[in-house]
Structure 1
Amino acid sequence: MARWLIEIPMVTNDGQPKGVQLFHYDADYTAARTQALADVDTEDAIRHRRGARLDVSRLKIRAWVSSST
């Protein structure tokens, strides 16, 4: 099973960039992507981004490579 880092850009109500919201999962690629898209609407995710909207069309998925050995 792979570990995935998913970045979804945040934007303010007027469309200005506001950073990214990160999710990470130990799952296959499709399951990780599906879970991230479901998790963006959770109360915790909304609170952490302080109400900013997400641009899911610019979602990025990368294999997570730990820097610790």
Structure 2
Amino acid sequence: MLMIAYTIEGAAAVTPFGEKVIREAIREGELLVHYRRDGGQHPIILAEDLVEWIRSLPTERPPR
């Protein structure tokens, strides 16, 4: 089944990033989230936004 949106936990499960990293990206405004119109408290991450965020990450390792 094709997933079109994820919870934070779900996004962490399908990427190599933990919930802490995903929450930080959301807090920093790097990863867009949506909320239900009825006042839902849990953020929803669209699959396309998750892919876009990953694609925006550097392609080279930072210098040591």
Q: TM-score, normalised by structure 1?
A: 0.25
Greater share of residues in strand? 1
Higher helix share: 2
